[in-house]
Amino acid sequence: MVIVMQEIQKVNYQKMLDETLAQLQKEGRVPTLLLHSCCAPCSSYVLEYLSQYFSITLLYYNPNISPAEEYRTRVEEQKRLIAELPAKHEIRFVEGNYEPERFYEMARGLEQVPEGGERCFRCYRLRLEEAARLAKKDGFDYFTTTLSISPLKNAQKLNEIGMELSECYGVPYLYSDFKKKNGYKRSTELSAEYHLYRQNFCGCVYSRLESERRAQEQEK
């Protein structure tokens, strides 16, 4: 018996984004975009990039972040960046409800799963679904998230979830992989330029503990 192995082809989400932006420019449109953001540093390049093409409302909905002091610090840094960052088109800020209980309920039974696994995938969905819901409610042309800019985030999974939610809520998802085209590098440059607070963990208590363990191992 001969078993034929087929290589799984990864989708080039940056190419898909390039095609969308080229079409918008051809049409001369400036559509509205609801952009979910996880933090100011990750959003810096994305805002610089996408504000050339969209009227952006940035949604800060991150019930995973703890403690509450960390959450407030990130909110204020996000607002400061928006106020200081030059943009071709307007950038608005909307803060979602801080609902850590929703995150802990979602993470129940997955507390010991390493970062980048199923717990993270469910966290992606939790935040993206709130973005999709609000995009539908307020009539946005597109929704997306800054999360794919991080080398630690699974862009394939993020876009798959975005596609599912797009079909469910009837709002187009802006496919993307913002780490491409040196996006992550540019975000670090902008973070330095604007003196942004850069955290050393994703946001949840589980990622913080994992980060602390890695730091201890490096010291040893």
In tens, the pLDDT along 43-63 reads 999 999 999 999 999 999 999
Pick the residue with more confidence: 151 or 6? 151
- pLDDT, residue 54, reads 98
- pLDDT, residue 209, reads 85
In tens, the pLDDT along 87-121 reads 999 999 999 999 999 999 999 999 999 989 999 99
Nearest to residue 207, comparing CAs of 39, 33, 58, 52? 39
Q: What is the mean pLDDT of residues 67-71?
A: 96
Nearest to residue 144, comparing CAs of 11, 15, 50, 65? 50
Q: Prior bond to 67 cis, omega within 30? A: yes
Q: What secondary structure does DSSP assign to 173-191, as a single string?
A: B----TTTTTHHHHHHHHH
Helix and strand tally (H, E) in the chain?
Answer: 8, 4
pLDDT of 3 > 70? The answer is no
pLDDT of 166 > 90? The answer is yes
Q: What are the backbone dihedrals phi and psi of residue 42, each rounded to the nearest 5 degrees, phi first?
A: -70, -30
Domains of the chain: 29-219 (3.40.50.620)
Angle subtended at Cα 55 by Cα 126 and Cα 159, rounded to the nearest 5 degrees: 35
In tens, the pLDDT along 192-217 reads 999 999 988 888 999 888 877 776 77
- pLDDT, residue 1, reads 40
Structure tokens at 50: 């996408």
- pLDDT, residue 113, reads 93
Q: CA 31: distance to chain centroid?
A: 19
